[in-house]
Amino acid sequence: MSGKDSWPREKRWKDLYTRSDKVARADQLGFDYPRVSENQLLREAASEFVGEGRNVLFVCSRNQWRSPTAEQVWRKHPKLSVRSAGTSPNARRKLSVEDIRWADVILVMEEKHKSRLLAEFTRVIAEKPVHVMDIPDNYKFMDPELVEELQSSVAAILGLECDFAIGRPLD
């Protein structure tokens, strides 16, 4: 077999090897490979929102008081699907790439949480809206003041109505 006959096979093997390296590196960095076009992303985004609610991710430090309270308060809203996670390594539920990919909107309690998201998940979070609610870590789980603050903040950010008299989102 001449060197010319084996060249296409060797070239295809190198392409395959290079592609698998790129896929592994992309997975490590938290983005999809091969990348999809902007038009394809827009089409997918439009089809996701037809007749469905939004996926909202609440983020605090340890996922102990604030974000679980937000998840509890908003989990029964018919237009929302909610999750909560923490940025700290010892969080009750640690924030993951899958959480960020799942979310349509990310609501963080403090500016430091947004900074951590941008530092750790730069590529995945690039197209996601991240809103800072400025809610300090002064509350316990389901504290009435925290519930009221979360209801007003989230309702204002997402353009939803909330019935504060009975303490639950409007249906």
Q: What is the pLDDT of residues 32-86, one digit of tens each?
A: 665 555 555 555 555 444 445 799 999 999 999 999 999 999 998 988 999 999 9
pLDDT computed for residue 49 by the predictor: 46
Whether 104 and 54 have beta carbons less than 8 Å apart is answered as yes
Query: pTM of the predicted model, to two decimals?
Result: 0.66
Burial of 44-63, coded b for 16+ CB within 10 Å and e otherwise, reads: eeeeeeeeeebbbbbbbbbb
Distance, in Å, from the CA atom of 92 to the CA atom of 103, rounded to the nearest integer, reads 19
Residue 166 has pLDDT above 50, yes or no: no
pLDDT computed for residue 168 by the predictor: 52
Nearest CA to 78 among 51, 58, 46?
Answer: 51
pLDDT band at 18 (very low <50, low <70, confident <90, very high): low
pLDDT computed for residue 126 by the predictor: 86
pLDDT band at 119 (very low <50, low <70, confident <90, very high): very high
More confident residue, 100 or 7: 100
CA atoms within 13 A on the CB side of 159: 3
Residue 17 has pLDDT above 90, yes or no: no
pLDDT computed for residue 12 by the predictor: 52
Residue 30 has pLDDT above 80, yes or no: no
Residue 165 has pLDDT above 50, yes or no: no
Residue 6 has pLDDT above 80, yes or no: no
pLDDT computed for residue 39 by the predictor: 56
pLDDT computed for residue 28 by the predictor: 76
